[in-house]
């Protein structure tokens, strides 16, 4: 039986991608598209709400879902610690699936990066991310997630363009943001020491891959107990 | 107290690299350099023998070390199954440290690749390796080791230039060998599906890094109980 | 005034891409889509025929256009020398625009590669091309065009998977074909000597870029005198 | 007959590289190594002075050479406009060969980049350079030279870490500086539009390649008429 999905942020770029991707999957149906101001009406018969709005709206949608007992999936970036906390509170009542990047590849890398960062303890690390020229924020939410995964070995983060190259300390992880053209999203992690370099790169070929990941998350989360879920639950190792 | 090292294959390319690298380390002394025909004399006072010869000579050196109770480190490539078995037999008497690639980076990648290969189960995989124009064998021993680590998910291997592109089956792992210039050794693993690509690349900046790794292995193995050791024992995770 | 375009091979992958791309351009209208068996009827009012069929059909379409005095654009690959000659004969009567790759980037690289190949005379060169897993031919037509541009310095070509690595001679240009996932087309040229490496890479983000290039060629060729045109005519230097 | 060379900045990193590289060339002899405070004595019998000091010392050495009629080669970076002017004045009396990067590959790229930048007029451009963790300045002199070659189409330059990402204007060329490990010098130029990307990368495998280039320049410049020479004179196209 198909999973019936509502999309919050339906007219946005990712909302439209999710709606389009759903048409290619036999076991998924989008039955509701919500935009700003649209209530989560009780008469809507959906199994899960997929949210690609913005931090404030995300928290409101999460609360409405918790009130109604509806599973909630969100791919929003830029949540404040307080907002992340609100999401966690909602996850005590409903299953909440949250990821800043719904690609399987990024999810798999996030799994192995802490191990690599430990094994390559004394190596310098820098992260380069590249996105299309219209992307407003820098660094990307995914770059920040990668750095969190790398920072297990107590390496501070450092964002180029904020503190300047000169202030970089040993052990810092630098982030460089490339903007231009139509790049759907590319992230590269470089480990360097005197004798060798390891480069781990991920490239999304289109935003379609993120939409498919969000739908996969939506199908996963329906019927689960309340809790806070992420890509690590989608990836079999 | 310094570890006292003998080198078998002393006049070879890697033997010379190991000898040179030893001069940069305070806790290592090379006191014997053996070439073809030189016996492992009982009067030699060494703590460990580091071998960069060739399969047949390696097995003879391993047997002589086992006979004398001397720890043995080898970085030879191209061992036959029978020769690998001989090395395992020696490791019942002495500590044997064996690796086709002594870089920490390759060792760390070999640790995480099975996990990644499982997480990215349905993805196409190809491996590209590039080396200087004088390298005789293709594909490199390291490329074969990487493919072994990737093949956990029952993916057959496929070497380009032997069976031809047309014969490739779904799930095969292709290996491409680039030869040219002065490249000290570069390996790239590409995971690909319809929506994304992950590229994991390793580059040795010089052969010095391999020599340092072999010396690190030599220091590690002295004083250990008999057994078969590899890079996974050098790498903290 | 809009350029009115007919597409031969309308139902094919590239034919559909060209039709879709035309809807995004204000100065282009597609008024006819021809498939196998469809005649180039005299009643069709088009300014130019854009052909993405296959070698035999391409030559028939070119002859029909020459007969009718209609400009002709083709992006077919795999033409035999005899077929290429037929295309040249047609170009004595009508403007013929022919390219195996309609991206501006590849066109620009083809312009500068002979110069680079001369400047880097003694360097080893290898070419890597990567395409989605459904691409039937290897190496790609674009890879062959790149090698032609590099071969000015009398370097023979060499295709991996046909003659085998062992047979490579100094000065050969090796071509490696990666197949997997959804890659829209990527080509990398590597120049290598003992001290340095130059890598020149091109990546199409989608096939849309090739369709736009074909339409740009179609607009360019309308109103030109008979002749054989290529990407070098589209690119301002 | 061998070219007899003096090196200014003999005890510096590049001075030592040049001296070492000279031993591998049959037609070059280093007969004088000058450090801070050493005069260019009239009794020195050298054909050319190769300078790897620092801006102020470079200008003094150039003036001394002009005074004595001795050809002068310099690879110093960071010259002020006034100092560059002083070098030009010296070149009215003696042949002066000046380059911020003595690799043939960078020289060849500098030749073709203006052409590429014109052909890809509307594309976004960013430059990434990576060097070992001890490099003091950022961006590298080579990166600045590449940007000058790209800027023909009136694109302003932009250095990340100084003005910040937000201030980037359309047409700007961004420069990103990676610092870490033992990288001998790597530069990548990225051209991007909505449909495609071109990446042009150069990597020095060791500093030896720069030393060989400086010696090649020294041999070239001996016997030439006064004038200002650069890598473009060493590269045959």
pLDDT in tens, B182-194: 999 999 999 999 9
**pLDDT given at position A171:** 64
**pLDDT given at position B131:** 96
How close B181 comes to chain D (CA, Å)? Answer: 10
Q: Average pLDDT in the A36-45 region?
A: 87
**pLDDT given at position D237:** 53
Q: Average pLDDT in the C193-221 region?
A: 95
D161, D167, D177, D201: best to mutate for the A interface, most A CBs within 10 A? D161
Span D96-141, pLDDT tens digits = 999 999 999 999 999 999 999 999 988 999 999 999 998 888 999 8
Pick D180's closest partner by Cβ from A126, A132, A178.
Answer: A126
In total, the C-beta contacts within 8 angstroms joining chain A to chain B are 115
Q: Average pLDDT in the D204-213 region?
A: 92
**pLDDT given at position D161:** 40
Pick C182's closest partner by Cβ from B160, B176, B193.
Answer: B193
Q: Average pLDDT in the C178-193 region?
A: 96
**pLDDT given at position D235:** 82
Burial (CB count within 10 angstroms: exposed 0-12, middle 13-18, buried 19+), residue B234: buried
**pLDDT given at position C233:** 87
CB A137 within 8 A of CB A77: yes
Residue of B nearest to D185 (CA): B205
Cβ contact, residue pair B120, A111, below 8 Å: no
Cβ contact, residue pair D198, C202, below 8 Å: yes
| Bond preceding residue D139 cis, omega within 30 of 0 | yes
B93 touches D: beta carbon within 8 Å: no
3-state secondary structure chain C: CCEEEEEECCCCHHHHHHHHHHCCCCCEEEEEEECCCCCCCCCCCCCEEEECCCHHHHHHHHHHHHHHCCCEEECCCCCCHHHHHHHHHHCCCCEEEECCCCCHHHHHHHHHHHHHHHHCCCCEEEEEEEECCCCCCCCCHHHHHHHHHHHHHCCCEEECCCCCHHHCCCCCEEEEEEECCCCCCEEEEEEECCCEEEEEEEEECCCHHHHHHHHHHHHHHCCCCCEEECHHHHCCC
Q: Average pLDDT in the A175-187 region?
A: 95
d(Cα D198, Cα D189) in Å, to the nearest integer? 8
Residue with the bigger pLDDT between B56 and A1: it is B56
Residue of C nearest to D109 (CA): C116
Instruction: Indicate the pLDDT class of residue A236, thresholds 50, 70 and 90.
Output: low
Q: Average pLDDT in the D64-73 region?
A: 97
Cα separations (Å) of D114 from C13, D110, D186, D201, D235?
Answer: 36, 8, 20, 16, 16
Q: Average pLDDT in the A86-102 region?
A: 96
d(Cα B225, Cα C6) in Å, to the nearest integer? 78
**Whole-number CA gyration radius for chain B:** 19
The runs of H, that is alpha helices, within chain B are: 13-22, 55-68, 81-90, 104-119, 141-150, 208-221, 231-234
- Active-site annotation holds for D135: yes
Q: Using DSSP, state whether B203 is helix, strand or coil.
A: strand
Instruction: Indicate the pLDDT class of residue A157, thresholds 50, 70 and 90.
Output: low
Q: Using DSSP, state whether A75 is helix, strand or coil.
A: coil
pLDDT at D152 over 90: no
Choose the catalytic residue: D63, D135, D176, D208.
D135
Q: Average pLDDT in the A47-59 region?
A: 96
CATH classification number, B3-102+208-234, choose in 3.40.50.150, 3.90.1010.10, 3.40.50.720, 3.40.1360.10: 3.40.50.720
Percent of chain D with pLDDT over 90: 76
Q: Which positions ≥6 away from B116 have C-beta within 8 Å?
A: A108, A109, A112, B191, B198, B200
Q: Domain limits of chain D?
A: 3-102+208-234, 104-203
How close A26 comes to chain B (CA, Å)? Answer: 18
Instruction: Indicate the pLDDT class of residue A155, thresholds 50, 70 and 90.
Output: low
For residue B133, give the nearest of A197, C193, C147, D184 by alpha carbon: C193
Percent of chain A with pLDDT over 70: 91
**pLDDT given at position A153:** 54
How close A22 comes to chain C (CA, Å)? Answer: 19
CATH classification number, B104-203, choose in 3.40.630.30, 3.30.360.10, 3.40.190.10, 1.10.1060.10: 3.30.360.10
CB A3 within 8 A of CB A27: yes
Q: In this complex, which chains have at least 3 CB pairs below 8 Å with chain A?
A: B, C, D
C138, C158, C161: best to mutate for the B interface, most B CBs within 10 A? C161
Instruction: Indicate the pLDDT class of residue B168, thresholds 50, 70 and 90.
Output: very low
**pLDDT given at position A235:** 83
**pLDDT given at position B203:** 98
Q: Average pLDDT in the C191-207 region?
A: 95
B162 touches C: beta carbon within 8 Å: yes
CB B156 within 8 A of CB B106: no
Cβ contact, residue pair D205, C191, below 8 Å: no
User: What's the sign of the alpha-carbon dihedral A72, A77, A83, A88?
Assistant: positive
Cβ contact, residue pair C103, D195, below 8 Å: yes
Cβ contact, residue pair A165, D177, below 8 Å: yes
Cα separations (Å) of C237 from A110, A123, C147, D22, D113?
Answer: 45, 44, 22, 40, 11
Q: In this complex, which chains have at least 3 CB pairs below 8 Å with chain C?
A: A, B, D
C105 touches A: beta carbon within 8 Å: no
**pLDDT given at position A59:** 97
pLDDT at B154 over 60: no
Q: Which residues of A are catalytic?
A: 131, 135
pLDDT at D52 over 70: yes
d(Cα D174, Cα D176) in Å, to the nearest integer? 7
Span B58-73, pLDDT tens digits = 999 999 999 999 999 9
């Amino acid at each position: 039986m198909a999973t019936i999905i509502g999309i919050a942020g339906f007219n946005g770029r990712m909302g439209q991608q999710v709606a389009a991707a759903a048409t290619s999957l036999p076991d998924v149906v989008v039955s509701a598209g919500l935009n700003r101001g649209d209530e989560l009406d009780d008469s809507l018969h959906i199994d899960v709400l997929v949210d690609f709005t913005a931090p404030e709206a995300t928290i409101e949608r999460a609360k409405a879902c918790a009130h109604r007992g509806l599973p909630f999936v969100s791919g929003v970036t830029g949540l404040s610690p307080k907002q992340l906390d609100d999401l966690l509170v909602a996850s005590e009542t409903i299953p909440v699936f949250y990821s800043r990047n719904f690609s399987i590849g990024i999810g798999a890398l996030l799994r192995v990066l802490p191990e690599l960062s430990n094994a390559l303890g004394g190596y310098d690390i820098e992260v380069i991310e590249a996105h299309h020229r219209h992307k407003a924020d820098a660094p990307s939410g995914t770059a920040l997630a990668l750095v969190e995964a790398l920072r297990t070995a107590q390496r501070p983060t450092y964002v180029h363009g904020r503190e300047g190259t000169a202030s970089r300390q040993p052990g810092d992880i630098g982030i460089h943001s490339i903007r231009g053209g139509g790049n759907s999203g590319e992230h590269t992690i470089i480990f360097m020491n005197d004798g060798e370099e390891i480069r781990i790169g991920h490239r999304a070929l289109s935003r379609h891959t993120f939409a498919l990941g969000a739908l996969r998350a939506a199908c996963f989360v329906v019927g689960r107990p309340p809790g806070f879920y992420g890509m690590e639950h989608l990836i079999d190792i």
